[in-house]
Structure 1
Amino acid sequence: MHLSLRQLEVFRLFSKTRNVTETASLLRVTQPSVSQTLKEMENQVGFTLFIRVGGRMHLTPEATALLTEVERVLAQFSTLRGRASELRDGRSGKLAIASVSTLYTDILPAAMASFRKDHDKVHLRADTYTAAEVVQQVRQDHADVGFAFLPVDEMGVAVQPLLRMQVLCAVPDGHELARQKSVSARDLNEQEVIIQNADTPPGMVLHESLDRDGGFTARVLDTNHSIPALHMVRHGLGVALVHPLTLSLAVLEDYAITAVPLEPPIYQTLGMVYSRHRPVPRSVVRFEKYLRHSLQHFCEQMNGRGYHCEMLI
Structure 2
Amino acid sequence: MKYRQVEAFHALMISGSTVRAAEIMGITQPAVSRLIADLEHSVRFTLFDRIRGRLVATPEARLFFREVDESFRGLDRLRAAAAGIRDYGEGTLRIGCFAAGSVSLVPAAIRAFRAKHPDIRLTFHVKSSADIRNGIVDGQYDIGLAADEIDNSGIDSQVFCSYAGVIAMPKDHPLAGHKVITPTDLADIALLGLVAEDRARQRLDALLGAEGINPNYALETPNSATICALAEDGNAVGLVNPMVTGHYAGRNVVFRPFEPNVIFRSLLLYPANVQKSRLIREFSGILLAQR
TM above 0.5, yes or no, is yes
Mapped pair 1:24 → 2:22:
yes
Q: Answer whether contact 2:89 2:279 (CA < 8 A) is retained.
A: no
8 Å contact kept, 1:47–1:62: no
The alignment-based identity, stated in percent, is 24
The structural deviation recorded for 1:27 is 4.4
Instruction: Say if 2:156 and 2:273, in contact at 8 Å, map to a contact too.
Output: no
Q: What is the match of residue 72 of structure 1?
A: 70
Q: Contact 1:98–1:146 (CA<8 Å) still a contact in 2?
A: yes
Any unmatched runs of 5+ in structure 2? none
How far did residue 20 of structure 1 move?
2.6
Relative to 1, partners in 2 of residues 1:22 and 1:196: Cα closer, same or farther, differing over 3 Å? closer
* Matching of residue 35 in structure 1 with residue 30 in structure 2: no
- Aligned partner of 2:115 in structure 1 is 117
Paired residues of 1:50 and 1:57 also in contact (CA < 8 A): no
- The corresponding residue for 1:307 is none
Q: For residues 228-243 of structure 1, what are the structure 2 equivalents within 5 Å?
A: 228-243=226-241
How far off is 1:208 after superposition? 4.6
User: Is 1:50 aligned to 2:34, yes or no?
Assistant: no
Going from structure 1 to structure 2, the CA distance change for 1:267 and 1:121 (only over 3 Å counts) comes to same
More off after superposition, 122-131 vs 64-73:
64-73
C-alpha displacement at 1:61, in angstroms? Answer: 4.7
* Structure 1 contact 90–286 (Cα < 8 Å) conserved: no
Which amino acid counterpart does residue 250 of structure 2 have in structure 1?
E
Matched-pair contact (CA < 8 Å) for 1:182–1:261: yes
SS in 1 for 2:120: strand
Q: Which amino acid aligns with 1:270?
A: S
Q: Out of 194, 197, 204, which is 2:195 matched to?
A: 197
Amino acid at match of 1:217: N
Q: Distance in 2 between matches of 1:175 and 1:51?
A: 92
Q: 1:139 to 1:22 in 2, by over 3 A?
A: closer
**For residues 25 and 264 of structure 1, do their structure 2 counterparts lie closer, same or farther at Cα, with a shift above 3 Å needed?**
closer
Bigger shift: residues 91-100 or 170-179? 91-100
Report the CA distance between 1:98 and its aligned residue: 0.1
TM-score (norm: length of structure 2) = 0.88
- State which of 266, 269, 275 in structure 2 corresponds to 1:273: 269
- Count of residues paired in the alignment: 289
Classify the secondary structure of the residue corresponding to 1:178.
helix
Matched to 2:216, the amino acid is R
Alpha-carbon spacing, 1:233–1:42, altered in 2? closer, same or farther (3 Å): same
- Whole-angstrom CA distance in 2 between matches of 1:157 and 1:26: 48
Separation in 2, partners of 1:18, 1:246? 65
1:100 to partner: Cα distance:
0.9
Task: Tell me, yes or no, if the aligned pair for 1:92 and 1:121 is still in contact at 8 Å.
Answer: no
8 Å CA contact 2:159–2:267 kept in 1: the answer is yes
Gaps of 5+ in 1: 296-313
How far apart are the structure 2 equivalents of 1:210 and 1:95?
42
Q: Distance in 1 between matches of 2:112 and 2:93?
A: 14
CA distance in 1, matches of 2:37, 2:174: 94
CA apart distance, 1:196: 0.7
* 1:102 equivalent in alignment to 2:103: no
Residue by residue, what CA displacement relative to the aligned partner does 1:74-97 show, whole Å, maximum 9, x if unpaired?
112222323333444449822110
Alignment RMSD (CA, Å): 2.4
Alpha-carbon distance in 2 for matches of 1:238, 1:93 = 46
- Say which of 181, 184, 204 aligns to 1:183: 181
3-state DSSP of counterpart to 1:40? helix
TM-score, normalised to structure 1's length? 0.83
Conserved 8 A contact 1:115-1:287: yes
- Note the C-alpha offset of 1:209: 4.9
AA of the residue aligned to 1:103: G
